[in-house]
A and B are shown apart, each in its own frame.
Chain A
């Protein structure tokens, strides 16, 4: 890119119970907050990249949000790549838009009101919009996300001859981190190994505490030119490298060793010129505990099949070689689609994360997936331009 872009302001709404506000209302708050964080106002926002809340499907959502905020943009659009790869794609698009001159300063935003603001009381994560090949899945009671993730988890345990201890280690680490984050749904609620194993089973081998916390909450990030970002109220953050790879959308998963997180990571390392040992902290799409194990293996923090041991040795925790989800993750902060992994990455790189600050963090990665790890992505952020 001839004219590099940077991430400027960020904002995170309260996460957990937002008292019945809709996803759109929460996203509106997040956009304003991110602009103010950067010292900007609505009139500075020339592009909007948003995603409609899954809990409340909404056509032309980006345009709806722009109108709601009174914005007149060079583009207002909806991005729906999947999971944490959605905000990653928003940031890529915003950077390209800024660099090419398509638009000026942009805001990337996502928020859900899945806990108190959705129109029905569906349990778990039954999506309102159509998914691929439902005809060959739903009649068998394969609905929502827990059953397919459970099948993946069961296969993982079978292939590598493991038990649920590794999952437990992931859940406990996420909770310890949530207790360092006042804006985590589960802040102030300690979790023990006994709690984990006593919790009811939902879809074997996934119990209640293997599942992320359904939450309300939104986050937003400002993207502008590197030159402009240097003049903002906040420290500019650079994207050093990104890799994305797809394999499947429906529940037709490949073999465990054919999942594409490793492909995405390889591309991100190649673009950034960095390796896994350069990453000071990582944020993972931990919709379920199994996703953390598969992701740490995919990005190379440990070898395939060794995620359980890696987690049980305490390597995920703050103070470890590369702390994982020090914000508490979806498992204990709340599942808001991955946008808060990016706001938290920026906060860590600013050195602004309080009790959960990773000391000396200069390179932070987000490794996320959409669907059943069918679209994987890794984005590496830093404090200096590459």
Chain B
């Protein structure tokens, strides 16, 4: 019976930022991946939030990440749970990627067959257009490409919150 009624969810979800989280998405527009680092205790955390979850300090720097990381866990999603919004994407990958900077984020590994994504795989960020946003997704990298990327991003860049 209720199966005949449409779910009240239309297009794919886009980020709904707050004034605290907005710099993350602004950085994505510049094709930069940034995460907060507490100015008091140097704890890096993700998702971005007002207070450091280790010491409670409300001042943090946005540090620019190398964009390199490792797949911590991964799944292939085979049905659309958001109305039909993801129907054209299934099967699609969802992963937790652990950045070289030490935090884990939810993302998609792209550019490779879903069956090929493995825990431990080295990946690098790129940015996918979604309406007016850019969404950080990850693509597998070879060891050679990774070494080269490591050299060019060895210094962590900082900007104030």
B21-40 to A contact mask, C-beta < 8 Å, 1/0: 10000000000000000000
Interface stretch, picked from B62-70, B92-100, B153-161, is B92-100
B49-66 to A contact mask, C-beta < 8 Å, 1/0: 000000000000000000
A141 on the B face (CB < 8 A): yes
Contact check, B17 vs A121: say whether CB atoms are below 8 A apart.
Answer: no
Q: Which residues of B lie under 8 Å from residue A204 when comparing CB positions?
A: 75-76, 78
Task: Show the binding face of A for B, using Cβ within 8 Å.
Answer: 20, 116-124, 126, 133-144, 146-147, 150-152, 154-155, 158, 200-206, 250-253
Taken together as a complex, chains A and B put the C-alpha atoms of A205 and B74 apart, in Å, by 9
**Known contacts being A147-B94, A151-B75, A204-B76, is A121 close to B47, with CB within 8 Å?**
no
* B80 (CB) vs chain A CBs: closest residue: A123
Main secondary structure of the interface of A (DSSP, over half): loop
Contact check, A202 vs B79: say whether CB atoms are below 8 A apart.
Answer: yes
- B2, B7, B105 — most chain A CB neighbours (10 Å): B2
B42 on the A face (CB < 8 A): no
Q: What is the minimal beta-carbon distance from B110 to any residue of chain A, in angstroms?
A: 11
B106-131 to A contact mask, C-beta < 8 Å, 1/0: 11100000000001000000000010
Contact check, A122 vs B9: say whether CB atoms are below 8 A apart.
Answer: yes
Contact check, A151 vs B47: say whether CB atoms are below 8 A apart.
Answer: no
B102 on the A face (CB < 8 A): no
Contact check, B106 vs A140: say whether CB atoms are below 8 A apart.
Answer: yes
Contact check, A20 vs B96: say whether CB atoms are below 8 A apart.
Answer: no
User: What size tier do the contact residues of chain B reach?
Assistant: 35 or more
Taken together as a complex, chains A and B put the C-alpha atoms of A318 and B136 apart, in Å, by 49
Contact check, B106 vs A121: say whether CB atoms are below 8 A apart.
Answer: no
Give 4 nearest A-B pairs by CB, closest first: A138-B13, A144-B81, A150-B75, A155-B73
**Known contacts being A141-B108, A151-B73, A200-B78, is A118 close to B2, with CB within 8 Å?**
yes
Task: Show the binding face of B for A, using Cβ within 8 Å.
Answer: 1-9, 12-17, 21, 46-47, 72-83, 86, 89, 92, 94-96, 104-108, 119, 130, 133, 135, 137
* A256 (CB) vs chain B CBs: closest residue: B73
Q: Which residues of A lie under 8 Å from residue B46 when comparing CB positions?
A: 136, 252
Q: Which residues of A lie under 8 Å from residue B82 when comparing CB positions?
A: 126, 138, 141, 143-144
Q: List 19 A-B contacts (CB under 8 A).
A: A116-B2, A120-B2, A120-B5, A121-B2, A121-B6, A122-B9, A126-B9, A133-B47, A135-B15, A136-B47, A136-B106, A141-B89, A143-B81, A147-B75, A151-B95, A201-B76, A202-B78, A204-B78, A251-B106
Contact check, A252 vs B47: say whether CB atoms are below 8 A apart.
Answer: yes
Contact check, A135 vs B106: say whether CB atoms are below 8 A apart.
Answer: no
Q: Of B1, B47, B92, B119, which is within 8 A of A141 by CB? A: B92
Contact check, B47 vs A135: say whether CB atoms are below 8 A apart.
Answer: yes
**Known contacts being A126-B82, A150-B75, is A139 close to B3, with CB within 8 Å?**
no
Contact check, B16 vs A122: say whether CB atoms are below 8 A apart.
Answer: no
Q: Which residues of B lie under 8 Å from residue A120 when comparing CB positions?
A: 2, 5-9
Q: What is the minimal beta-carbon distance from A244 to any residue of chain B, in angstroms?
A: 20
Taken together as a complex, chains A and B put the C-alpha atoms of A20 and B2 apart, in Å, by 8
Contact check, A142 vs B73: say whether CB atoms are below 8 A apart.
Answer: no
- B5, B78, B104, B106 — most chain A CB neighbours (10 Å): B106
**Known contacts being A126-B9, A136-B105, A252-B47, is A154 close to B119, with CB within 8 Å?**
yes
Q: Which residues of A lie under 8 Å from residue B107 when comparing CB positions?
A: 140
Taken together as a complex, chains A and B put the C-alpha atoms of A158 and B16 apart, in Å, by 33
Q: Of A139, A146, A147, which is within 8 A of B14 by CB? A: A139
Q: Of B13, B14, B135, which is within 8 A of A143 by CB? A: B13
Q: Which residues of A lie under 8 Å from residue B86 when comparing CB positions?
A: 141, 143
Taken together as a complex, chains A and B put the C-alpha atoms of A158 and B73 apart, in Å, by 9
* B118 (CB) vs chain A CBs: closest residue: A158
* A-B contact sample (6 more), CB < 8 A, given A124-B79, A136-B15: A119-B2, A121-B7, A124-B81, A126-B82, A141-B12, A155-B96
Taken together as a complex, chains A and B put the C-alpha atoms of A158 and B81 apart, in Å, by 26
Taken together as a complex, chains A and B put the C-alpha atoms of A300 and B29 apart, in Å, by 49
* A252 (CB) vs chain B CBs: closest residue: B104
* B21 (CB) vs chain A CBs: closest residue: A135
Contact check, A139 vs B13: say whether CB atoms are below 8 A apart.
Answer: yes
Taken together as a complex, chains A and B put the C-alpha atoms of A138 and B137 apart, in Å, by 13
Contact check, B74 vs A151: say whether CB atoms are below 8 A apart.
Answer: yes
Taken together as a complex, chains A and B put the C-alpha atoms of A150 and B5 apart, in Å, by 28
